[in-house]
Structure 1
Amino acid sequence: MVTLRALECLVALSDEGTMTRAAAVLHMSQPALSHQIASVEKELGTPVAERMKRGVVFTAAGRATVEEARKALAAADRAVRVGKKVGDGLGGKLRIACAETMTPWLLIPILRQWHRRWPDVELDLQEFTSSDRMVEHLMENGTDLVVGPEPTSTTAHVQVLGQEEVVIVASADHRFAACESVTVPELATEAFVHYHTDNGMAIWVDQFAAAHRTPLRVALRTFSPRTAAQMAGAGLGVTIVPVSALVGRFPAEVRRIEPRVHRDIVALTMTPSDVLVHRFITHLKRRGLPNVDTSARLDR
C-alpha cells in the first residue's frame, strides 16, 4: 500500500518539476526520493513520470494519481487538526447517559455553560430510568459518561459526586402534611405510588421497605419519579422519590424520612483520561449537588 510519505513525494515532484528541487523541499536525499516514487510506480504498475534533462514530465497515470494524492494529504492534515482540537478539548463529541431526574436537577446548568464556552463540542444526552442499564450502555461503548445513582456493580471508573436525599411525597390534605418527618412503618397503611420494574427505583424501594419489614400497599405504578411525585401530590397515594424528582412547581407536601435516607450519585466512565470526560466530571464535582428545600411545599 502506498504511504502518505510516498504521496507527499509524488506531489512535491509534480510541484517542483525536478528531483533536485523536490528533494530539497522535502529535506531528503535524491536517492530516498527516487525510492518513494518507485514505490508508487510499483503499486500502480506503471510509470508516473518520464525523466528528462530539464526535469520530469508526468504521465496520465501520474497526473491522475497526483490529483487524488492532494486530496488524501489534505484529508490526512484535517484528521490531525481535528484530532488535536478534540485532544485539546476544543471540539469533538461527548456522549452522556444520565438518570432521567438528573437532567433538570443537575446537568442543565453545566450543559448550558459548555454550550457557551465550547460551541464546537457536541453534547449527546440520553436519559435512562435504570443505573444498571446505563452501565450496560457504557460497557457496549454506547456512551462516554454515566451520571446517576450508584449501580448494582461495575468495573468502570467511579467518581462519587455527592449524596442525594430520598424523601416522601404526599398531597396537601394528607395526614403526613402535619408531620415534620415520616417513619417507614407509617407507610404500611397508605396507598403507595410505586414504580414499574424497568425503573431502578422499583428495586431500591422494595429493598428499602423489606429492610424495614414494611409491606407496601401498591395503588398504581409509573416509570418516572417525577410523575410519581405529581401523582402523590394529586392525592393518588404517597410515594418515595429522590429529591432530584422535585424540580418544578406542583402542589405537594415533601417530608423527610426518619431517620434521613440518602443515596450516592456517581459519575462512571471507561475513559477517565479522555479530556472531555475528565473536564465534565471535574465540573460536576466542582458544582456539587443542588440543595432542595424539603421542608417547603413545592407550589410555594
Structure 2
Amino acid sequence: MSLRQFEYALAVAEEGSVTAAAERLHVAQPSMSQQIRGLERELGVDLFARTPTGLVPTVVGRAFLREAEAAVSAARRARATARAGADELVGELTVAVQMGFGTRQLPGALSALRRRFPRVEVTVFEEPSSAELERLCRRGVVDLALMAACERTPADAHHLGDEEFVVVLGAGHPQLAADRVELRELEGESWVRFDRDSALDGVLLEVLRDNELAPATAARVSQTATAVRWAAHGLGVTLVPASAVPHRDEHLVRPVLPAVSQPVIAVVRSSAGPAETALLEFLRQETWPEPTPSSPTS
C-alpha cells in the first residue's frame, strides 16, 4: 500500500467516480482504476460498491478511508515540516470549528498567519456535532480545533475565552425594549432550531429545560447565519453565539437572563508544528469575552 493509493481512494470517495477523481488529481483514468483495484486486492476487500448514483464506499471501505485520511494528513504535515526553512513554511493546515464559535476572532488570526507563512494553505470547516469534532481531533485529522469541551490534556487544550449566547428577535418584537431578555418571558415563542445532532441545538434544549420552557419548533436549519436571518424576519426566535451575529442584525439581539455562555477551547494536535503554534498564538491575541456568570451551560 502507498500514500498515493490512499489519496486516490479518498478522491474517489469524494467524487463518486474514478473518472472525476482522476480529472481532479490530473491522473490518467486507467492508471487510477488500476491503483484502486490493486489496493483492493492487497486488502482482500471491496472498498467501493457501484450504485445508480456512482461509487459509494462499503462499510469496510468507510472504516479504511477514515484511517487513510489520517495517514494522508500526517504525511502532508511531515512534508510541510521537512520543507520548512528559517523564514518559510510550505504545506497545509486544517482547522475545524464548532459551529458559531470564533466567527469574529478567527479571520484576524488567519490573516496574521497568512502574513507570517504566505505559502501555507489553510482549510477551515464548521462542524455542528461536538462529538464528531472530538473524534476528528483524536484521530489527528485536524491540526487545530475550536470547541466548547474536550478530554485532551492541558498541553493540548487552551482556554481562549468564552462565547456568550444571545437571543435573536424579529423586528418589532416587544422584548427588544429590554436590555436583557429573561428567558421565561419567551414562553409560548416558537424557535428556529438547529439539526438534532448539533451542539447548538443541545445548548438550546438545555436552556429551555432549565427555564421550564417547551421547545416549540418553527424550523430547523444547518447554519447560524440562516437561523439569525430567519429569526430577524420573524419566523421565530433563536439562540446563537454572539460572535455569529452579523453586524447588520445586532440591533435585533439581546443577552439573556440567566446568562448563557460556553468556553472556547483551542485544541492542537500532538507534536504541533510551527503553523499550528503560530495560529494558536494569534488566536490568543484576539479579543475574547470574559466568562459570563450564572451560565447554566458552562
- TM-score band by shorter chain is 0.5 to 0.7
Q: Does 1:172 align with 2:171?
A: yes
- The CA deviation at 1:84 is 5.7
Say if 1:86 and 1:196 are closer, same or farther in 2 by CA, change over 3 A.
farther
Sequence identity (%):
26
Q: Does 1:128 align with 2:132?
A: no
Asked if 2 retains the 8 angstrom alpha-carbon contact of 1:171 and 1:251, the reply is no
Say if 1:137 and 1:87 are closer, same or farther in 2 by CA, change over 3 A.
farther
Give runs of aligned pairs for residues 1-300 of structure 1, distance below 5 A. Answer: 83=82, 85=84, 90-102=89-101, 104-148=103-147, 150-151=148-149, 153-155=150-152, 157-250=156-249, 253-271=252-270, 273-289=272-288
Stretches of structure 2 that go unaligned for 5 or more consecutive residues are: 1-77, 291-298
Say if 1:89 and 1:97 are closer, same or farther in 2 by CA, change over 3 A.
farther
Asked if 1 retains the 8 angstrom alpha-carbon contact of 2:164 and 2:241, the reply is yes
Deviation per CA, 1:193-241: give whole Å up to 9, x if none: 1111132111111112212222222111111222111111101111111
- The CA deviation at 1:290 is 7.1
- The CA deviation at 1:172 is 1.7
Asked if 1 retains the 8 angstrom alpha-carbon contact of 2:101 and 2:163, the reply is no
- The CA deviation at 1:90 is 2.7
Asked if 1 retains the 8 angstrom alpha-carbon contact of 2:184 and 2:211, the reply is yes
| Secondary structure of the corresponding residue to residue 112 of structure 1 | helix
TM-score by length of 1: 0.63
Asked if 2 retains the 8 angstrom alpha-carbon contact of 1:104 and 1:247, the reply is no
| Secondary structure of the corresponding residue to residue 155 of structure 1 | coil
- The CA deviation at 1:133 is 1.5
| Secondary structure of the corresponding residue to residue 248 of structure 2 | coil
Say if 1:135 and 1:80 are closer, same or farther in 2 by CA, change over 3 A.
closer
Asked which structure has the greater CA Rg, the reply is 1
Say if 1:210 and 1:92 are closer, same or farther in 2 by CA, change over 3 A.
same
Alpha-carbon distance in 2 for matches of 1:86, 1:267: 26
Asked if 2 retains the 8 angstrom alpha-carbon contact of 1:233 and 1:252, the reply is no
Amino acid at match of 2:186: L
Amino acid at match of 1:161: L
| Secondary structure of the corresponding residue to residue 213 of structure 1 | coil
Alpha-carbon distance in 2 for matches of 1:246, 1:204: 17
Aligned-pair RMSD on alpha carbons?
A: 2.7
Say if 1:89 and 1:134 are closer, same or farther in 2 by CA, change over 3 A.
farther
- The CA deviation at 1:91 is 2.9
Say if 1:255 and 1:80 are closer, same or farther in 2 by CA, change over 3 A.
closer
Structure number with the bigger relative contact order (C-alpha 8 A, sep ≥ 6) is 2
Say if 1:280 and 1:240 are closer, same or farther in 2 by CA, change over 3 A.
same
Matched positions, count: 211
